[in-house]
A and B are shown apart, each in its own frame.
Chain A
Amino acid sequence: MEFWRIPFDANEIDITLGEVYILDDRCKGCGYCIEFCPRQVLQISDKFNKKGYHPPVVVNPESCVNCHYCEVICAEFAIYSVEAVSCPNKN
């Protein structure tokens, strides 16, 4: 994450990391999850799902902060995120 100014306690803050799951065949390709992801984690894919839509694909997995917005904006129950277990070593 890039900061305009580095907070004094930056090292102590534990940023939640997320893991995005996509149920490809449920997707209808509206693109809302891609457009409204605050961390630009997703991108439209080239592949076709069973229904002929292009589902999203995770392109920046490490950027996901598990905000769940893709999950709540999706009208198809096709995408969700879970908290990724982060290792204790922080830089």
Chain B
Amino acid sequence: MASVNRPNKQQNHPLDDLIRKDRIPHIWCPGCGIGTIFASCLTAIKECVATGKNGFDLDKFVMVSGIGCSGRAAGYVKLDSFHTTHGRAIPFATGLKLANRDLNVIVFSGDGDLFAIGGNHFIHAARRNINITVICVNNLNYGMTGGQVAATTPYNAKTTTTPAGNAENPFSLPLLAYASGATYVARWTMLHTRDLTVSINEALSKKGFSFIEVLSPCPVNYGRRNKEKPLETLKLYQEKSIIKNGADPSELDIDMEKGIILGKFVDIDKPTHSEKYDKLYRIE
């Protein structure tokens, strides 16, 4: 065993320079995955800036959130950050990006915000190929309001508004993103945080509308009602996930019996909204 020289002075957390330390601790519950996904996003931003590729500049990164637990992310990041109205993070981000193309705009929000109340904005931003990155923390329910059914809640799952089980079927988010025209689509869980960081880095570097779904436990609201302790949820992620890059987007339904398919499903190049707009409208 090698002997170890222990640095005796405690340093700062490596991400302290990217968080508003005066606002920590954040509001997320013990066992919630949002903080992990948020940290992964910050690491990816840091890596992008460190490499200096694409002229990445920390001052030009902007985070936009909607409403909900994940929507609070904008309040903790030490970047220009906007906490908007419920469901409207994407149109706000669209305005920011079209008004200043030098900005790297990240939308960080939850499944209820982005896909129920904001679902229409999502498909249209993807269709237009607005050059932004959307990260969706999918915890399968509305956490902030106490655990109601969402557009992503699995069939038969218990929530406060589906006390006998969810009678509806959930969206497959990667399929929706693919069908709407996103140029980059991936899915990870908060346990796969390293893959997630690489993926966010790729998405930020991607020209066009990029989308990453990240599964996250909501122990207090979803887990409790569906007999899942936080560590059990993570074990499920570990045991039931199959990494299958390039998987057919139509086969990505979340089914814990069959297994959850993770990976990068779409990575294509096509002109962005701004490029097409310039070509048609800014002819000198």
Which A residues form the contact surface with B (CB < 8 A)? 17, 19, 21, 23, 26, 28-32, 35-36, 51, 53, 61-62, 71-78, 80, 82, 84-87, 89-91
15 other contacts beyond A51-B25, A72-B36, A84-B7, with CB at 8 A cut-off? A19-B6, A21-B11, A28-B31, A71-B14, A74-B36, A74-B39, A75-B34, A75-B39, A76-B25, A76-B35, A82-B11, A84-B4, A85-B5, A85-B7, A86-B5
The verdict on B10 contacting chain A, using a C-beta distance below 8 Å, is yes
Interface secondary structure of B, over-half rule: loop
Q: How far is the CA of A72 from the CA of B44 in the complex (A)?
A: 12
Known: A32-B234, A77-B35, A82-B11. A72 touches B40 (CB 8 A): yes
Q: Which of B60-68, B159-167, B189-197, B203-211 contacts A (4 or more CB under 8 A)?
A: B189-197
Known: A72-B40, A76-B25. A31 touches B10 (CB 8 A): no
Leading 8 A-B pairs by shortest Cβ distance = A75-B35, A28-B30, A85-B5, A30-B31, A75-B36, A72-B193, A86-B2, A84-B4
Find out whether the CB atom of B36 lies under 8 angstroms from the CB atom of A91: no
Find out whether the CB atom of B28 lies under 8 angstroms from the CB atom of A75: yes
Which B residues form the contact surface with A (CB < 8 A)? 1-7, 10-11, 13-16, 19, 24-26, 28-36, 38-40, 43, 190-191, 193-194, 197, 230-231, 234
Residues of B within 8 A of A85 (CB): 4-5, 7
Find out whether the CB atom of A87 lies under 8 angstroms from the CB atom of B3: yes
Residues of A within 8 A of B10 (CB): 21
Residues of B within 8 A of A31 (CB): 231
Known: A72-B43, A80-B13. A17 touches B2 (CB 8 A): yes
Residues of A within 8 A of B11 (CB): 21, 82
Q: How far is the CA of A85 from the CA of B2 in the complex (A)?
A: 10
Q: How far is the CA of A13 from the CA of B13 in the complex (A)?
A: 29
Listed A/B pairs (26) with beta-carbon separation below 8 Å? A19-B4, A19-B6, A19-B7, A21-B11, A26-B24, A26-B25, A29-B30, A30-B31, A32-B231, A36-B191, A72-B193, A74-B39, A75-B35, A76-B24, A77-B13, A77-B15, A77-B16, A77-B35, A77-B39, A82-B11, A86-B2, A86-B4, A87-B3, A87-B4, A90-B2, A91-B2
